[in-house]
């Protein structure tokens, strides 16, 4: 199975985050290292437009066979197009058709190799179109509120039932960004991550930290070091 790690250079929430050292190692290297430790990943490719990220990624063991196209590294670019760019490059240069692949976002560095392997096993066993890692939502959907134009606090959902305890409400889950597994041609044709044949891989909160800003970074570093 091929693993693609997308890492463009233009982070706004935390500038330079992909090369920022997390517990003594550049952030990008945590995902590369975990992918290389997987028993079911046979190739790890880093997709980036940034020379520094590319150099660090190579030193950590990833392949960087080409630099990502500039028009796929904009704030408005769709990351799925960078995945397909890698797939098409491999097909053109290696004459090898990639039927499925794993995408690992570098901003979720606490996944482990067992998470990757277990998600791939679900993908294969279910003959899925996609498998997406999720974490249980921190609060029930019924607790969400919205603020009207008049500044009033209202229920977000008309289905809100104040008579139910939290334990009685159906659990909900949110994608944590750690693992995406796609069937290539389904993704290419639908341009959707979710189909009727999408399955979850459920992860715990302690491995689901997603780094978008400095506070996220500090929380993730705490999780990495607290047991030491």
pLDDT at residue 167, as a whole number: 67
Long-range CB pairs of 162-169 (<8 Å, 24+ gap) are 166/140, 169/140, 169/141, 169/142
Torsion angles phi and psi, residue 173, rounded to 5: -135, 150
pLDDT at residue 23, as a whole number: 92
Cα separation, 95 vs 198, in Å, equals 28
- Chunked into runs of 10 residues, the chain (228 residues) has average pLDDT values of 93 84 95 98 96 96 95 89 96 90 97 98 98 93 88 81 66 95 97 97 96 94 83
> Helix or strand or coil: residue 95?
coil
pLDDT at residue 176, as a whole number: 97
pLDDT at residue 106, as a whole number: 96
pLDDT in tens, 73-95: 888 889 999 999 999 999 999 88
Distances (CA, A) of 4 to 13, 20, 149: 22, 20, 43
Cα separation, 132 vs 147, in Å, equals 31
Distances (CA, A) of 69 to 22, 47, 50, 65, 223: 28, 9, 10, 12, 35
> Helix or strand or coil: residue 15?
coil
What angle, 0 to 180 degrees and rounded to 10, lies between the N-to-C axes of helices 27-37 and 51-59?
40
pLDDT at residue 157, as a whole number: 73
**Cβ proximity of 60 and 19 under 8 Å:** no
Residue 134 CA, chain-centre distance (Å), reads: 10
Cα separation, 109 vs 209, in Å, equals 8
Query: What CATH number was assigned to the domain covering residues 2-135+173-221?
Result: 3.90.550.10
- Where are the domain boundaries for CATH 3.90.550.10 in the chain? 2-135+173-221
pLDDT at residue 9, as a whole number: 85
Cα separation, 100 vs 129, in Å, equals 9
pLDDT in tens, 116-157: 999 999 999 999 999 999 999 988 887 888 999 999 998 887
Is 26 exposed, middle or buried (CB count within 10 Å of its CB: 0-12, 13-18, 19+)?
buried
Q: Retrieve residue 159's tokens.
A: 């289905």
């Amino acid at each position: 199975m091929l693993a693609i790690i997308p890492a463009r250079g233009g982070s706004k929430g935390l500038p330079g985050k992909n090369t920022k050292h997390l517990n003594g190692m550049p952030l990008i290297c945590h995902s590369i290292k975990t992918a290389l430790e997987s028993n079911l990943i046979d190739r790890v490719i880093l997709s980036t437009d940034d020379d520094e990220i590319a150099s660090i990624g190579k030193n950590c063991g990833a392949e960087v066979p080409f630099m990502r196209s500039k028009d796929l590294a904009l704030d408005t670019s769709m990351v799925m197009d960078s995945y397909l760019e890698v797939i098409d490059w491999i097909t053109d240069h290696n004459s090898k058709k990639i039927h499925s692949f794993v995408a690992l976002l570098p901003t979720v560095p606490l996944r482990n190799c067992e998470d990757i392997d277990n998600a791939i096993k679900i993908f294969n066993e279910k003959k899925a179109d996609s498998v997406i890692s999720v974490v249980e939502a921190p609060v029930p959907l019924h607790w969400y509120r919205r603020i009207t134009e008049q500044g009033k606090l209202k229920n977000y959902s008309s289905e809100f039932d104040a008579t139910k305890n939290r334990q009685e409400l159906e659990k909900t889950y949110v994608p944590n960004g750690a693992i995406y597994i796609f069937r290539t041609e389904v993704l290419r044709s639908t341009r959707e991550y979710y189909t009727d044949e999408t399955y979850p891989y459920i992860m715990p909160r302690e491995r689901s930290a997603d780094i978008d800003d400095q506070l996220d970074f500090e929380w993730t570093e705490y999780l990495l070091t607290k047991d030491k």
